[in-house]
Structures are given as structure tokens and as C-alpha cells.
């Protein structure tokens, strides 16, 4: 597979790094020599100096022989023009564009179908809104991911010492909950990822990834020694491209919402467009201001301004003043592991949200969605079983499938199946697969239709 990446910023670099590890042929185009030097110093990919909106540069990149073009610069216009010329130079190529301006994304359907035939238009800010809403659906856990249209969730949570699961072998898990309602996907222990077997034991401090039906979350959370508490009072910091649409959605869910915005003129605009939300002009790092607004009664504080230092500080202050849960927007991907260690409950990133949305387009076979685990350690793929693929028609135990990959779930019609070795995957089943990064190419091969 050959992939052209227009833009060597954080999103472009991240994709180039991942694809290079999978031995894909990658060409990165950018106008910034420093950004290209960073790519060439760290990655085994081709680089090309020039603008991705220039048809000559696109032609020189080998676009005619490529499978996908990813237009992921910080400029919507460059990304759109790159797709326009890709249509001319290589009409059959798959096109993915990062588009942030709502004036453009309001025409998403036209861009993907009528005008440019772009396969996927990604708005990173709206993907962050969706990430926050997923977090709110299960605020007691550290990570939340949706599959099969939200009917199946993969959640990640630290196992506390008081949990009845502490010290339990995985083979004993059905004694605590029916096997059909929960499966352990992976463990992270001492920063090492473990694909668990029946003989493995759960230990306090493990970060446990598990898969379940959405309606079973409450019961499973109790197994971790926690009670689910519905969110009622929400404080959002920042009324920009993330904060405003988030608050609009929270209003529709009849939650009690306050919105802090430092710009007085923006506050007036927000007040005119919102119905039930209390809009406050001020700084979320002002302790007296937060105390006056009863920050200690907030079930969740969500800081999504452009200033990530402001987001981090306001969340830490809110937590110290009694807020139950905090969510901070962090733009720089390298900051995320550091921020997670200082007491903020959840981190959201426009770049990572865009990356997770884009990954299914880079996978062979009919992959519907993907989620990465612990950076590049592993990936969970939701895919449709094609009639002639290698995973169909045999018991799972008889498949030639990598040991470092695990079938987590089969979705057949309205039935959710937690598979065993004797389970047989049928054509058009949705399957959920966890795989380490090293064997992703083999998993892709198994998902592809045989000729």
C-alpha cells in the first residue's frame, strides 16, 4: 500500500510513523524544511519539499500509483485543493481531508459525494466533542470507546484493591458475571501490555480493558468497587469550536450547564445562541470566581480552550476545590502521558481524535472503526466478516490467526456473542479484534476477501 501524506505536522508525523512501522510505502509532503527534516531524521519514509496544493508536487510524489492521499495540514484550503487535484491526477484514489472550519464542514455531504468525492472529511474539534460525550456516558472509567454504533463499549479502568476482581484468575471470571456479558480484552501492568489468557490473574493497580454491552456498564462498574453516579451539573471552560457545540448537546440532554468564557463579546454571542446554559465571563483559574460559582458541586468540569496550560490549571484547581471529575483538552500529543499523571481524570486531543477516526481508511478488509491502545502497543478493530475472508466458516480455534490477536466479540444481527474457541464466524458478522501492532498486517490479511 502506498500512501501520500500532505502535511508533516503532528497528525501527519503520527500517521507516517505508524505506517512506516507497518512497512507501508509513505511519501510526506510539506513546505516546512524543519518539519520534513524531523520526519527524515526519525522515520524510514520518503519526503518531498513543496505544497500539497501544487499539482506538479502531487504528481512528483507518485500520486498516480498511490492508494490513499491524506490531506492533514493546518490549512483547510490546502487540504481541499490537494483533494481537487488528486481527483484530476488519480481519480480512483481514496481521499481523506482534515477540515476544521464549520463553514466548510456544513457541506460535508456535498464534499464527500457531489463535489470532490472525498472518502472522509474529519473535523477534529467535533471529534473531540464526540469523545467528551463518550466519557460522559461512563464517567467512572478512565477510557471509553464505542463500537457497533454505541451498542458495545470497550472501557479502561484501574483495578482498585477493594474490587472483588482483585486476585481473580480470568478463568474464574464467570463466577462473578455471566461470560456473555463481559470479556477482558487486555491488561496494562507496569507499563507492559498483556493479552490475557485464562490462567492470568487480575491484580490491584492493573489497568483493565474490558468489552461489554452498554446496558451492562453499571453492573460491571460495581465489580470494580465503584457505584455509577449520573451527571447533573457540568461546567464547561471555553466557548469556542469545541465548547459551544458541546454545550448545545448538553442542553438537549437537560443537564445543568455553566459555561465560562473570558471574552466579553463572545459571551454576548453565546448567551444569544444558548437557551438554558448560564454563560459567565471570567477566568477559570481565578479561585474566588470558581468558589462563587459553587465549583465544588460540579459533577464534571470540562476545559476545552485553545490554551492547554489554562485547561490543565483550571482542571487541577477545580479538582482541588471539590469537582468530582475533570476533562482537559491537550493539543500537544507528547504532553498527554505527563498530564495523565498529575490528577486530571480524562484527556481529550483534537489530533488523537482525528487520528482514531481516520485509521479505518488505512486498514485492508472491511474495517469499520479502530481504536489504539497505549500509543502504538495495540489496536482494536471493528470489521465486517467478508464471505470469502479467512476468518469465516471455521471454529476460531482452527483458524490460522496470530496468537498476539484476540477475537473479543461477535455481533450477529441483534445478538452479541462473546466467542469461545468453538465459535464460528459467519459472513456479514461484525467482529471486534484486539491485536498487537506487530501482527496488524496478518490480521488485515485475514480480513481481506480471497480472490
Domain for residue 115, yes or no?
yes
Please give the mean pLDDT across all residues of the chain: 89
Per residue in 283-339, pLDDT (tens digit) is 999 999 999 999 999 999 999 999 999 999 999 999 999 999 999 999 877 777 788
Does one domain contain both 332 and 233? Answer: yes
Does one domain contain both 103 and 173? Answer: no
Does one domain contain both 439 and 389? Answer: yes
Domain for residue 23, yes or no?
yes
8 A C-beta contact, residue 369 and residue 360 = yes
Print pLDDT tens along the chain (451 aa).
Answer: 899 999 998 889 988 988 888 788 999 999 999 999 999 999 999 999 999 999 999 999 999 999 999 999 999 999 999 999 999 999 889 999 999 888 888 887 777 776 678 888 888 899 999 999 999 988 888 888 888 888 888 999 999 999 889 998 988 888 888 766 788 989 998 888 888 888 889 999 999 999 988 888 888 888 888 777 889 999 999 999 999 999 999 999 999 999 999 999 999 999 999 999 999 999 999 999 999 999 999 999 999 999 999 999 999 999 999 999 999 999 877 777 788 788 899 999 888 888 788 877 777 778 888 888 876 678 899 999 999 899 999 999 999 888 889 999 999 988 888 888 899 999 999 999 999 888 888 898 899 877 6
Residues 349, 353, 357, CA angle at the centre, nearest 5°? 170
Whole-number Å distance between alpha carbons of 255 and 191: 37
Does one domain contain both 212 and 275? Answer: no
Domain for residue 139, yes or no?
no
CATH (domain of 165): 3.30.70.1450
Domain for residue 265, yes or no?
yes
Residue 184 is part of which domain span? 151-223
Alpha helices in 287-365, H assignment, sequence order? 287-292, 308-320, 336-339, 350-358
> Whose CA is closest to 326, among 304, 309, 349?
304
Contacts of 260 (CB under 8 A, 6+ apart): 235, 236, 237, 238, 280, 281, 282, 283, 284, 293
Contacts of 358 (CB under 8 A, 6+ apart): 15, 70, 96, 120, 122
Q: Which residues partner with 436 through β-bridges?
A: 378
Question: What is residue 63's predicted lDDT score, i.e. its pLDDT?
Answer: 95
Distances (CA, A) of 299 to 3, 139, 295, 419, 450: 44, 9, 9, 37, 51
Per residue in 18-52, pLDDT (tens digit) is 888 878 899 999 999 999 999 999 999 999 999 99
Largest CA distance in the chain: 68
What total number of domains does the chain contain? 4
For residue 333, give the DSSP letter: G
Domain for residue 143, yes or no?
no
Distances (CA, A) of 451 to 12, 178, 198, 386: 33, 40, 37, 12
Whole-number Å distance between alpha carbons of 412 and 430: 7
Does one domain contain both 12 and 95? Answer: yes
CATH (domain of 61): 3.40.50.720
Got the DSSP string for 345-368? SEEE-HHHHHHHHHGGGGSSSSEE
Does one domain contain both 256 and 340? Answer: yes
Domain for residue 138, yes or no?
no
Does one domain contain both 21 and 49? Answer: yes
Does one domain contain both 197 and 243? Answer: no
Domain for residue 69, yes or no?
yes
Give me the sign of the Cα torsion angle 352, 358, 362, 363. Answer: positive
Does one domain contain both 316 and 275? Answer: yes
8 A C-beta contact, residue 53 and residue 86 = no
CA torsion angle 147 150 153 155 (round to 10): 110
Does one domain contain both 241 and 350? Answer: yes
Residue 48 phi/psi, 5-degree rounding, is -145, 120
Domain for residue 61, yes or no?
yes
The residue length of the chain stands at 451
Does one domain contain both 112 and 8? Answer: yes
Does one domain contain both 206 and 316? Answer: no
8 A C-beta contact, residue 331 and residue 350 = yes
Amino acid at each position: 500500500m502506498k500512501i501520500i501524506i500532505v502535511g508533516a505536522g503532528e497528525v501527519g508525523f503520527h500517521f507516517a510513523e505508524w505506517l512506516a512501522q507497518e512497512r507501508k510505502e509513505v511519501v510526506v509532503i510539506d513546505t516546512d524544511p524543519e518539519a520534513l527534516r524531523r520526519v527524515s531524521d526519525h522515520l524510514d519514509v520518503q519526503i518531498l519539499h513543496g505544497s500539497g496544493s501544487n499539482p506538479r508536487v502531487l504528481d512528483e510524489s507518485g500520486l498516480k500509483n498511490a492508494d490513499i492521499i491524506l490531506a492533514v495540514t493546518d490549512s483547510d484550503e490546502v487540504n481541499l485543493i490537494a483533494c481537487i487535484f488528486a481527483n484530476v491526477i488519480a481519480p480512483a484514489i481514496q481521499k481523506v481531508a482534515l477540515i476544521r472550519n464549520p463553514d466548510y464542514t456544513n457541506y460535508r455531504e456535498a464534499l464527500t459525494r457531489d463535489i470532490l468525492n472525498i472518502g472522509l472529511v474529519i473535523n477534529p474539534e467535533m471529534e473531540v466533542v464526540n469523545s467528551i460525550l463518550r466519557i460522559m456516558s461512563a464517567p467512572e472509567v478512565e477510557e471509553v470507546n464505542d463500537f457497533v454504533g454505541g451498542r458495545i463499549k470497550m472501557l479502561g479502568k484501574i483495578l482498585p484493591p477493594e474490587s472483588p476482581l482483585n486476585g481473580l484468575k480470568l478463568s474464574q471470571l464467570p463466577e462473578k458475571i455471566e461470560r456473555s456479558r463481559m470479556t477482558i480484552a487486555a491488561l496494562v501492568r507496569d507499563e507492559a501490555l498483556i493479552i490475557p489468557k485464562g490462567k492470568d490473574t487480575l491484580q490491584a493497580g492493573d489497568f483493565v480493558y474490558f468489552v461489554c454491552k452498554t446496558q451492562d456498564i453499571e453492573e460491571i462498574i460495581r465489580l470494580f468497587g465503584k457505584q455509577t453516579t449520573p451527571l447533573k451539573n457540568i461546567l464547561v471552560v471555553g466557548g469556542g469550536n469545541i465548547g459551544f457545540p458541546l454545550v448545545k448537546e448538553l442542553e438537549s440532554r437537560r443537564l445543568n450547564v455553566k459555561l465560562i468564557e473570558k471574552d466579553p463579546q463572545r459571551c454576548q454571542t453565546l448567551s444569544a445562541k444558548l437557551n438554558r446554559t448560564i454563560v459567565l465571563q471570567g477566568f477559570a483559574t481565578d479561585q474566588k470566581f470558581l468558589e462563587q460559582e459553587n465549583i465544588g458541586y460540579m459533577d464534571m468540569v470540562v476545559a476545552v480552550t485553545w490554551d492547554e496550560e489554562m485547561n490543565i490549571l483550571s482542571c487541577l484547581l477545580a479538582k482541588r476545590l471539590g469537582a468530582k471529575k475533570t476533562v482537559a483538552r491537550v493539543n500537544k500529543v507528547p504532553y498527554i502521558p505527563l498530564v495523565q499523571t498529575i490528577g486530571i481524570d480524562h484527556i481529550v486531543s483534537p489530533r488523537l481524535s482525528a487520528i482514531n477516526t481516520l485509521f479505518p481508511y488505512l486498514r485492508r478488509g472491511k474495517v469499520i472503526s479502530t481504536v489504539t491502545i497505549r500509543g502504538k502497543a495495540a489496536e482494536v478493530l471493528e470489521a465486517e466478516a467478508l464471505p470469502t475472508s479467512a476468518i469465516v466458516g471455521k471454529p476460531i480455534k482452527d483458524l490460522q490467526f496470530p496468537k498476539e490477536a484476540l477475537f473479543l466479540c461477535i455481533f450477529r444481527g441483534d445478538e452479541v456473542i462473546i466467542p469461545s474457541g468453538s465459535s464460528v464466524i459467519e459472513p456479514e458478522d461484525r467482529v471486534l479484534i484486539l491485536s498487537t501492532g506487530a501482527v496488524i498486517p496478518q490480521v488485515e490479511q485475514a480480513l481481506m476477501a480471497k480472490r
